[in-house]
Amino acid sequence: MAFHLDRNAYGKQAIRLSKIIRRPDHHEIRHISVNVSLKGDFDTVHTIGDNTKVLPTDTMKNTVYALAKDKFTASIEEFGLHLADHFLSNNPQVSEVDIEITEFSWKRMTIDGAPHPHSFIDGGSEKHEAHIKKNRQQTTLSAGIKDLLILKTTDSGFENYIKDQYTTLKETADRIFSTQCEVSWTYDGLPPNPGQLYNEIRNNLLHTFATHKSLSVQHTLYAMGENALSDFPSIREITLKMPNKHHIPFNLQQFGIDNENEIFIATDEPYGYITGTLTRE
């Protein structure tokens, strides 16, 4: 009946930080949320309350703000690598550092036809994410997009599926396809310019979504992953999570009105949830 402490980790989440980068003729605003998590030799912390190996999560928070001054100057991927290196180098009791950074989207305002030097507007629900996992042997860098809310009004169908005694869904060759998707990919090594690469991969994913003739969510999910892997050799593996944001045709027939695929009920729940990972062989 003996047991032991197995997997464990601790850290600080939701360290919310903004930075103004002051260029000669304009400002940039960066707005992020950072999670720090440590694994290591923490058995006695748990078993006897020995805190002598514990770096407080409050100190992690302070450290993120302090390092942001000099080290957060380009992509969140690069800032994350600095943070991981700092915590691993300064804490011999730690075997692995996980840094997750989420960047919120701000769009520069256009005022009187020109980009404004210091005014910004919300850039949408979409967020850029970076995840660094660093131990004494290696560093793994992943990036991704969260809450990417996209929709197409045609070139999407769902037919020829299994029918059983509980089937009521009608087949359709033309439906709305909408998803608040999450995509993450892991690089093979550390790419030279992860910020620019992120934008290119994001555009590639949107291009596939927009132009694919979709026979199912799975079919489009795979095509998005396939194109990203084909076009970006530095990606080793890509995972897509695609919750359906259903738009269901409203039954107007009951009122003697034809609904020619025009009027829909937009629903949140329940929702289909499709996930898949494509990886190089």
Q: How far apart are CA 123 and CA 110, in angstroms?
A: 13
Residue 25 binding a second copy, by CB under 8 A? no
Residues 102, 68 contacting (CB under 8 angstroms): no
| d(C-alpha 227, C-alpha 209), whole Å | 10
Nearest CB to a second copy, comparing residues 158 and 187? 158
User: Of 137 and 258, which CB lies nearer to a second copy in the complex structure?
Assistant: 258
- CA 121/CA 109 separation, integer angstroms: 6
Q: Which listed range, 4-12, 76-84, 135-143, 190-198, lies at the site for a second copy (CB under 8 A)?
A: 4-12
CB 235 within 8 A of CB 188: yes
- 3 binds a second copy, rule: CB under 8 A: yes
Q: How far apart (Å, rounded) are the C-alpha atoms in residues 173 and 121?
A: 38
Three-class SS of residue 148? strand
Q: Annotated catalytic residue: which of 31, 53, 57, 71?
A: 57
Buried b (16+ CB within 10 A) or exposed e, 19-39: beeeeeeeeeebbbbbbbbbb
How many residues belong to the site for a second copy (CB under 8 A)? 136
Long-range contacts of 44-49 (CB under 8 A, 24+ apart): 46/5, 46/8, 47/5
Selected from 49, 136, 138, 192, the binder of a second copy by CB under 8 A is 49
Answer yes or no: 4 catalytic: no
Q: Which of residues 240-279 bind a second copy (CB under 8 A)?
A: 243-244, 247, 250, 252, 254-255, 257, 259, 261-279
* Site residues (CB under 8 A) for a second copy, limited to 105-144: 106-107, 109, 111-112, 116, 118-126
**Binding residues among 201-230 for a second copy as defined by CB under 8 A:** 206-207, 209-211, 214-219, 221-222, 226, 229-230
Active site residue 118: no
232 in contact with a second copy (CB under 8 A): no
Contact stretch for a second copy (CB under 8 A) within 39-47, 76-84, 134-142, 182-190: 39-47
Site string for a second copy, 177-206 (x = CB under 8 A): -----------------------------x
Structure tokens at 182: 């999450």
Distance CA 201, CA 280 (A): 17
Does residue 213 have an active-site annotation? no
> In terms of CB distance, is 60 or 141 closer to a second copy?
60
- Helix, strand or coil, per DSSP, at residue 250: coil
71 binds a second copy (CB under 8 A): no
Q: How far are the Cα atoms of 12, 39, 123, 202, 216 from residue 205, in angstroms, in the given order?
A: 32, 34, 18, 5, 16
Nearer to a second copy, 52 or 137 (CB): 52
Active centre residues (catalytic) = 12, 57, 246
